[in-house]
Amino acid sequence: MSIKERRNKRTLLAAVMILITIPLTIFFGIYCLNDRKYYIISVLIIVQTILPFFLIFESRRPQARELVLIASIAAIAVAGRSAFFWLPQFKPVVAVVIIAGVCLGPEAGFLTGALSFFVSNFFFGQGPWTPWQMFCGGVIGFLAGIVFKKGMLRKNRVSLCIYGGLATYFIYGGLINICSVFMFSQTFSRKLLMAAYISAIPFDLIHATSTTIFLFILSKPMIEKIERIKKKYGLLES
């Protein structure tokens, strides 16, 4: 099996685990745990997220410096979210997660997104929304890595800003609005969902705009530094 075939197989397996197993875990928490055991669900999501990440290392163990790089990028996202706590929805987290997915691959992008929202919610408040935020951020990072590998996303400001704005509005906003319906109503209906989407338009627009702005500012310097570190230490070469 060629390197390309192994990578495609690995990414497909990771996608199945991320896009099927984790949503099932979230809905298990909603319907079986009454949406109150969110710490347990969040930890389960982190464990499930780590497994696809470790698929990157097929024939060796990950080096400590590789794990430190992921942790450092997640820490930047957490610090950025905390720094802008006074501006609702105006946060750099998704921008940093997208950069991680593009530079380090889809699996690392998902791990960065999930960790960033889980850790930062110790400052902003944990709740039933935490697993949803972890999943939303992770999916955006995962897809960023995939579309970059496919050549549909480039490491330039324009391409990243377009992807970031659209992904934040439609993926993050779209999924979080579904979460809102589950949190505030015992019955799920199309009318409630449409009401949630309409009422969230201003917030989703601010969030998408902030992601675009932060990508425009941060993408070039962060990508250059991450690529320099990868080249110097031979990190995440797979």
What's the pTM value of the predicted model, to 2 decimals?
Answer: 0.91
Which residue shows structure tokens 């929304």? 129
- Using CA atoms, how far residue 59 sits from 6, 56, 91, 129, 238, in Å, is 12, 9, 38, 37, 10
Q: Which CATH number is 189's domain given?
A: 1.10.1760.20
In a domain, 176, yes or no: yes
- What is the per-residue pLDDT for 1? 54
In a domain, 136, yes or no: yes
Considering only residues 195 and 8, tell me which one the structure prediction assigns the higher pLDDT.
Answer: 195
Helices (H) and strands (E) counted in the chain, each on its own, are 11, 0
In a domain, 95, yes or no: yes
Instruction: Show the domain range for 115.
Output: 3-233
Is the CB of residue 95 less than 8 Å from the CB of residue 23? no
Residue 130 — very low, low, confident or very high, per pLDDT cuts 50/70/90?
A: very high
User: Which range, 125-134, 157-166, 223-232, has the best average confidence (pLDDT)?
Assistant: 157-166
Q: Decide: helix, strand or coil at residue 127.
A: coil
Report pLDDT digits (tens) over 163-217. Answer: 999 999 999 999 999 998 888 877 778 889 999 999 999 999 999 999 999 999 9
**How many whole angstroms separate alpha carbon 143 and alpha carbon 60?**
25
Q: State what percent of residues in the chain have pLDDT above 70.
A: 95
In a domain, 171, yes or no: yes
Residue 4 — very low, low, confident or very high, per pLDDT cuts 50/70/90?
A: low
In a domain, 211, yes or no: yes
- What is the per-residue pLDDT for 39? 86
**How many whole angstroms separate alpha carbon 206 and alpha carbon 218?**
18
- What is the per-residue pLDDT for 218? 96
In a domain, 188, yes or no: yes
Q: Is 116 buried (19+), middle (13-18) or exposed (0-12) by CB count in 10 A?
A: buried
DSSP 62: P
- What is the per-residue pLDDT for 221? 96
User: How many CB atoms lie under 10 A from the CB of residue 160?
Assistant: 26
Domain tally for the chain? Answer: 1
pLDDT above 80 (res 2): no
Report pLDDT digits (tens) over 11-59. Answer: 888 888 888 999 999 988 888 887 778 888 998 999 888 888 887 776 6
- What is the per-residue pLDDT for 211? 97
For the chain, give the mean pLDDT.
89
**How many whole angstroms separate alpha carbon 88 and alpha carbon 116?**
17
User: How many CB atoms lie under 10 A from the CB of residue 38?
Assistant: 20
In a domain, 238, yes or no: no
In a domain, 216, yes or no: yes
Region 92-114: mean pLDDT is: 94
